[in-house]
Amino acid sequence: MGKLRQLITQAICSSAGVENFTVERTQDSSKGDLATNVAMVGYKSAGFSSPREMAERVVESLRDNSELETVISKIEIAGPGFINFYLKQEYVKKVLSDESAGCELMKGKRVLVEYSSPNIAKRFSVGHLRSTIIGNSLERIFKATGARVTNDNHLGDWGTQFGMIIAVVEEKDLDVEKMSVADLENEYVEFNKRMTETPGLREKAKEAFWRLEKGDASARKIWEQSVAVSMSEFDKIYKRLGVEFEHSLGESAYETDMPAIIKEAKKNKVAVEGENGAWVVKFEKDGKEYMPPAMLVKSDGTTTYFTRDLATIRRRLDEDELRADLYIYEVGGEQRLHLRQVFETVEKLGWAKKERFVHVAHGLLTLPEGKMSTRKGNTIKLEDLLWKSKDEARRVAGVEIADEEIEKLSLASVKYNELKRSPGLDYVFVWDEALSMEGNSAPYINYAYVRAKKIVAEKNIDGKKLRDFEGEEIGLSKMLIEFVEGDVVERAAKTYAPQVICNYLFELSKKFNAFYDHNRVLGDDREKERLFLVAKLAEVIKQGALLLGIDLVEKM
């Protein structure tokens, strides 16, 4: 919580003895700068006959709080019993010049964000792109909460599908190293189709996977080459997006951990015997099944995606580098049930509370053209979204922009367009929207930044001995402290929503544009104060954009 809200909350807590109330920044500055509902929610339990009566008492006791006095200029009661607080200019100015201010929500805590997680020998899908962009932003936001954050790319590099790849590579004597990921995927898809028609192929694939598990040299080599080919393609995407992984522990990393986990689940009776010798985890309450069972061991004795996810968590709880207070999974919405099964099983096993695991799900992204590709689960080719964006950016934005900068701006537009909405929603990607110079977009925000930078360029910015802010300066200064004090970051982290950062940056940019339309900065009598605010604004936009993984351009 921002220092200010913390201070007010504590003051109220000690005077009112009520919990579960909020202290929020007000949208409308005629209602002060912060407001609390403490009397509305607490008057009954505190023994008052009306919220107003309680509000009066709270206000009275706050009047004697000397710490509050340095921060708040006025406290008033509004409506049926809300309490509004007005900030002192001195305080606003102090915070804006304080380099050490910021969010401390998760100070001392550890967070692991798992994201991207593409599958080896399959193309990097738009879903993986969404996961990468959102996951990376969450990683950055949580870093800004004071937490120690690490990330993990949970690659899909194991499973019976590799049996098919090995089988087809051996059958056709393919040179994996000369193939692209798309080639590999095509071979896999074709083999999969043939398998349903041709007897014996399924057994071949099974046998190949069995050999892989046993460490057979040929199988192993094909698998390793597939991983290498895929990773070199994926790494190019990560480089382009500016994403780096501290850990890339694929599913294969947990192969040897699984027997012990299966044993434990059986012993604890968390897993029960299912049909044909399979082992499953059931989810029942009062004798009723509230979720379908999850498969721990298949009837042929092989493990599953679910088993590997359990093993992953065991490792994440055991290994110091991976251990965290909070584990965030940025994974497509279609895996909601799967992850719920995993997290609940972890709790059943007594390893950890399920609340420590959060699934941030993303929906589907499509292009307005509709089905660009007929391939299942892959509605758009990634290249259409990222690789062609440079030309599109120039055309649609229609701004004069240097060659090196246009790529940055177009990438920023793709990221911003993704992050500005609630991740769970499906959406249609429209270039005109992503690159709009007028709307809630990266170019709009970047332009405000460039404008601000231009004003303060080579000027002497001095935060000392500022006069009190006046007129529209006041609104701008208060909006800035919302970020500087860490409230914006806190809200984004608490709701797992980079969208909060986007909305803030958009509103701030709008406010600045309006301010600049109405107020001269250079050469005005109030130049010193205004320069200070504009410089701060540029800094805040830059920092905010970085939380989205966006590196703003300096000229446009």
Closest residue to ligand ARG, based on beta-carbon distance:
156
Instruction: Count the neighbouring beta carbons within 10 Å of the beta carbon of residue 306.
Output: 19
Half-sphere exposure of 258 (CA within 13 A, CB side): 18
Tell me how many degrees the CA angle 147-152-154 measures, rounded to the nearest 5: 150
Residue 5 or 362: the one with the smaller Cβ distance to ligand ARG is 362
- Extract the tokens encoding 27: 């949208």
Under DSSP, the state recorded for 301 is S
Q: Is 119 in the site for ligand ARG (CB under 6 A)?
A: yes
Paired with 284 in beta bridges are: 289
Least distance to ligand ARG, CB of residue 536, Å = 40
For ligand ARG, what does the binding mask look like between residues 250 and 279, x meaning CB under 6 A?
Answer: ------------------------------
Least distance to ligand ARG, CB of residue 410, Å = 26
Query: With CB under 6 A as the contact rule, which of the stretches 36-44, 82-90, 110-118, 485-493 interacts with ligand ARG?
Result: 110-118
Q: What is the Rg, in whole angstroms, of the alpha carbon atoms belonging to the chain? A: 28
Whose structure tokens read 């919580």? Answer: 1
User: How many residues contact ligand ARG, by CB under 6 A?
Assistant: 9
Residue 357 or 512: the one with the smaller Cβ distance to ligand ARG is 357
Query: With CB under 6 A as the contact rule, which of the stretches 117-125, 211-219, 343-351, 465-473 interacts with ligand ARG?
Result: 117-125
User: Residues 265, 271: contact at Cβ < 8 Å?
Assistant: yes
Scanning residues 288 to 347, which ones bind ligand ARG (CB under 6 A)? 309, 329, 331
Q: Indicate the residue type of 411.
A: L
Q: Which stretches within 215-335 are classed as H helix?
A: 217-241, 258-267, 305-318
Residue 130 or 143: the one with the smaller Cβ distance to ligand ARG is 130
Contacts of 423 (CB under 8 A, 6+ apart): 130, 134, 330, 360, 361, 362, 363, 496, 497, 499
Least distance to ligand ARG, CB of residue 116, Å = 9
Q: Is 423 in the site for ligand ARG (CB under 6 A)?
A: no
Instruction: Count the neighbouring beta carbons within 10 Å of the beta carbon of residue 189.
Output: 14
Three-state DSSP string of 217-250 = HHHHHHHHHHHHHHHHHHHHHHHHHCCCCCECCC
Query: With CB under 6 A as the contact rule, which of the stretches 116-124, 190-198, 318-326, 530-538 interacts with ligand ARG?
Result: 116-124
Least distance to ligand ARG, CB of residue 161, Å = 11
Least distance to ligand ARG, CB of residue 286, Å = 29
E strand or H helix at 166: helix 161-172
Q: Is 154 in the site for ligand ARG (CB under 6 A)?
A: yes
CA-based nearest residue to 408, from 360, 450, 467, 374 = 450
Query: With CB under 6 A as the contact rule, which of the stretches 111-119, 163-171, 364-372, 504-512 interacts with ligand ARG?
Result: 111-119
- Selected from 32, 51, 135, 156, the binder of ligand ARG by CB under 6 A is 156
Query: With CB under 6 A as the contact rule, which of the stretches 14-22, 112-120, 451-459, 515-523 interacts with ligand ARG?
Result: 112-120
- Selected from 9, 117, 252, 379, the binder of ligand ARG by CB under 6 A is 117
3-class SS at 180? coil
Query: With CB under 6 A as the contact rule, which of the stretches 115-123, 231-239, 395-403, 546-554 interacts with ligand ARG?
Result: 115-123
- Extract the tokens encoding 443: 């170019």
Least distance to ligand ARG, CB of residue 305, Å = 7
Q: State the residues that interact with ligand ARG by CB under 6 A.
A: 114, 117-119, 154, 156, 309, 329, 331
